[in-house]
Amino acid sequence: MRKIAVLYGGSSQHYRSLHEPKYHRYFDKVIYLPDLEKTPLDEFDALLVPSQLHMGLIMKNKEKIQAFADNGGIVVAFGPQPKEWIPGQNWELRPTNFWWWLEKDAHSGLVLKNPEYDLFKNYITLEDATWHQHGVYWPPEGADILVSTEDDGAVLYVDKVSSKGTWIVTTLDPDFHFGSYFMPATERFLDGFLPWLAEGKV
């Protein structure tokens, strides 16, 4: 099993998600975000960066996070990222339709680009990664896009070309919604994604 550290910014939503027993068992250390600057990361294989953290503190630690990946670590970024701290980050904000599923002939607009990828063969389905979108990424050439919009904007991708490590980047924010007690798909996403990350399938 990989050793995973996760950042915690102090919100109630993240507290619930990170301390839910079935998820907490995957985290070897919960790092309070203001303490990240002085916390060594060498012992960990992966660093999970939840959505909606304090961007000033993320930017303050940008080089430290990138160095972790450059040393072979895995960095997971959940949710939209309005500041550029991810290598090759090319974020496009789009209007969010929270109620698309109530429309006639509802369609999320999401496409499973790589159904043979292990995450989708053995851990989750496209439906488990479907709620609403806040925007898309246009990732570096050579990255594996797993879920996209119909115009090929990346909603979930794996980048092994920008550093010696791995960047798993998604616009999805399952930590926020599970911690807020709504959006059932987010629980199914975490139920599959965290074992996949911990078991070394990336």
The CA distance from 8 to 10, in Å, is 6
For residue 12, the model assigns a pLDDT of 95
Q: What is the CATH number that goes with domain 4-198?
A: 3.40.50.880
By the 8 A CB rule, do 176 and 125 touch? no
Query: Residue 91 has what DSSP assignment?
Result: E
Model confidence, pTM: 0.92
How would you write the pLDDT of the chain (202 residues) with one tens digit per residue?
999 999 999 999 999 999 999 999 999 999 999 999 999 999 999 999 999 999 999 999 999 999 999 999 999 999 998 899 999 999 987 666 554 445 556 555 788 999 999 999 999 999 998 887 788 999 999 999 999 998 999 999 999 999 999 999 999 999 988 888 877 889 999 999 999 999 977 7
Are 53 and 173 in contact by the 8 Å Cβ rule? The answer is no
pLDDT at 150: 87
- Please give the pLDDT value at position 146: 96
Q: What is the pLDDT of residue 100?
A: 44
Cα dihedral across residues 133, 137, 138, 139: positive or negative: negative
Under 8 Å between Cβ of 166 and 75: yes
Strands (E) located in the chain: 4-8, 29-32, 46-49, 74-77, 91-93, 110-112, 135-137, 144-149, 154-159, 166-170
pLDDT at 177: 80
